[in-house]
């Protein structure tokens, strides 16, 4: 019995009841006197040892007193009362010892059971990991993971059209990264989803549509007759969607639904792992960037400087050489000096970073001043910052800005560049805008387009959104904004 107030009260009432019965039936000569031993054990288990002994002695004294006054003419005999008091006290002590032993045993049993449960859970987890390792693609490269997933879908299902869409967490757009036949849009917003895909998103499960030519359709491919759609979820987050469609009605069966349901779990984890590995690879690239900058400075930079000094010395010594030779040497010296300037700028760009002392704005201004010196861009910086962000977050934003500005310098053919930054220490907006030639909007979803993948990974890593707005001939605007919380 647990050591609680309710239990102690119930046990005490039981002992008092037994005491009353003993008193009524003859006190210590009562045949019920032996029942007090079990009542004492119950009281001791239900309460503390001190309380049990006190209550036991009180009831024993009460019975002894009643026994002595039941017949005033009989001489008082303390012998039976003392013997029963001693027996009851010994019983209470023995019960208290047994209670302690029982409590220790309970703790040991519960500990063993807890360890057994932990081992069982670990065994189940290892079994699941083993199964997952056999099912998932070995590569952590996103392209290879997507290719492997499509190959598995083709081998498992008979479908005329197949599409694998991934959700970009930075702007909420869905990109069709892999497809088989059909011509699904390159990008889709949630509100543009066909009805069966929207149903799969609402239900967060596999949806099978027997007839896409009715009100339940159309599908991703308008000519499809039936479809099967599954959500890719990893770590309670939606990462993508699989769409399988066939020209025939009622093509997909319940077995196909169950098969797709078992497929999407492992595929979602594989894609999510590949994305996270890509972010880690980006962090590793930053460290490699610093190492390369140091090596360039220590080796190539010094070697080029030595080469320039040697060319200067040779030109001074070749006073009697032909004009053609001197002109060639001067051109070579100028080329070397140009390379030295480019290497110096590259070193500065690689080593420029935000830190505890230098924030985002000074870093941007230093970088933009070098861009302005080596290009014909008219650069404008608009900044309103009342408080800084944490350094790791600023560092990712700086790399996004650097990539966007470099794209403008190298690819846009722009004449004007505007950088806008506002931050209050919590909410921020970064915008890089140019008046260049832009590029087709479909290229914003390509994995290798203008470093957009790196920018999106950095934005996702700090929980922000990245928007790229561009039109051929109409300039480009890259915006990174914080997500409201």
Residues 44 and 83 in one domain: yes
The alpha carbon dihedral of 86, 89, 95, 98 has a sign of negative
Report yes or no on 313 lying in a domain: no
In CATH, what number is assigned to the domain containing residue 191? 3.30.450.40
Question: What is the mean predicted confidence (pLDDT) over 219-245?
Answer: 86
Q: Are residues 387 and 466 in the same domain?
A: yes
The mean pLDDT of 17-40, rounded to a whole number, is 68
Looking at the domain assignment, is residue 254 inside a domain?
yes
Does residue 452 sit within a domain?
A: yes
User: Which of 223, 257, 279 is the last residue in one of the domains?
Assistant: 279
Q: How many domains does the chain have?
A: 3
Residue 462 inside a domain? The answer is yes
For residues 404 and 472, membership in a common domain is answered with: yes
Looking up tokens 């070749």, which residue turns up? 318
Counts for the chain of helices (H) and strands (E), in that order: 12, 11
At 261-301, the pLDDT tens digits run: 888 888 888 888 877 776 666 555 555 565 665 655 556 65
Flag whether 345 is in a domain: no
Strand residue runs (E) in 295-437: 378-387, 416-424, 428-434
Model pTM above 0.85: no
Nearest to 384 by CA among 438, 414, 422, 338: 422
CA distance linking residue 335 with residue 168, whole number of Å: 45
Lowest pLDDT segment from 71-85, 321-335, 346-360, 456-470:
71-85
The domain boundary, picked from 225, 255, 279, lies at 279
Q: So what's the pLDDT on residue 366?
A: 87
Q: What is the mean pLDDT of residues 174-184?
A: 79
| Predicted pLDDT of residue 24 | 65
CATH number at residue 370: 3.30.565.10
What's the average model confidence in pLDDT over 34-46?
68
Q: Could you say which DSSP state residue 411 is in?
A: I
Bigger pLDDT: 382 vs 46: 382
Q: Which helix (H) or strand (E) holds 188?
A: strand 187-188
Q: Is residue 122 part of a domain?
A: no
Decide if 257 contacts 235 (C-beta within 8 A): no
User: Which residue range forms the structural domain that includes residue 86?
Assistant: 5-114
The answer to whether the beta carbons of residues 197 and 229 sit under 8 Å apart is: yes
């Amino acid at each position: 019995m647990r050591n609680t107030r309710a239990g102690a009260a119930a046990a005490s009432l039981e002992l008092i009841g037994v005491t009353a019965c003993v008193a009524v039936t003859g006190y210590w000569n009562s045949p019920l006197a032996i029942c007090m031993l079990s009542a004492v054990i119950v009281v001791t288990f239900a309460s503390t040892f001190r309380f049990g002994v006190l209550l036991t002695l009180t009831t024993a004294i009460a019975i002894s007193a009643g026994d002595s006054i039941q017949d005033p003419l009989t001489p008082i005999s303390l012998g039976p009362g003392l013997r029963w008091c001693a027996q009851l006290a010994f019983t209470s002590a023995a019960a208290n010892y047994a209670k302690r032993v029982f409590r220790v045993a309970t703790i040991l049993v519960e500990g063993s059971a807890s360890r057994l449960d932990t081992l069982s859970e670990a065994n189940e987890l290892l079994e699941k990991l083993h199964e997952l390792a056999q099912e998932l693609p070995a590569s952590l490269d996103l392209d290879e993971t997507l290719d492997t997933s499509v190959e598995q879908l083709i081998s498992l299902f008979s479908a005329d059209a197949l599409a694998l869409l991934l959700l970009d967490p930075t702007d909420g757009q869905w990109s069709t990264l892999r497809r088989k036949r059909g011509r699904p849009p390159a990008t889709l917003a949630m509100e543009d989803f066909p009805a069966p895909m929207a149903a799969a998103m609402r239900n967060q499960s596999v949806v099978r549509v027997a007839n896409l030519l009715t009100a339940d359709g159309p599908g991703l491919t308008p000519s499809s007759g039936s479809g099967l759609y599954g959500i890719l979820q990893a770590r309670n987050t939606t990462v993508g969607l699989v769409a399988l469609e066939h020209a025939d009605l009622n093509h997909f069966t319940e077995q196909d639904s169950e098969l797709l349901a078992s497929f999407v779990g492992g595929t979602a984890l594989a894609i999510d792992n590949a994305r996270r590995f890509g972010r880690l690879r980006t962090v590793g690239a930053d460290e490699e960037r610093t190492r390369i900058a140091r090596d360039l400075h220590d080796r190539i930079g010094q070697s080029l400087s030595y080469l320039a000094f040697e060319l200067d010395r040779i030109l001074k010594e070749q006073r009697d050489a032909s004009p053609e030779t001197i002109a060639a040497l001067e051109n070579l010296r100028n080329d070397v000096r140009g390379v030295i300037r480019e290497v110096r700028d590259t070193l500065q760009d690689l080593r420029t970073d935000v830190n505890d002392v230098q924030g985002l704005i000074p870093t941007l201004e230093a970088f933009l001043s070098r861009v302005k010196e080596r290009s014909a861009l008219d650069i404008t910086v608009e900044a309103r910052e009342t408080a800084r962000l944490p350094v790791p977050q600023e560092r990712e934003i700086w790399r996004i800005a650097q990539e966007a500005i470099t794209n403008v310098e190298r690819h846009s053919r722009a004449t004007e560049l505007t950088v806008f930054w506002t931050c209050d220490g919590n909410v921020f907006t970064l915008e890089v805008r140019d008046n260049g030639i832009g590029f087709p909007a479909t290229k914003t979803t390509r994995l290798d387009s203008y470093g957009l993948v790196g920018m999106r990974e950095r934005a996702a890593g700090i929980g922000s959104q990245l928007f790229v707005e561009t039109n051929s001939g109409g300039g480009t605007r890259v915006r990174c904004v914080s997500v409201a919380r």
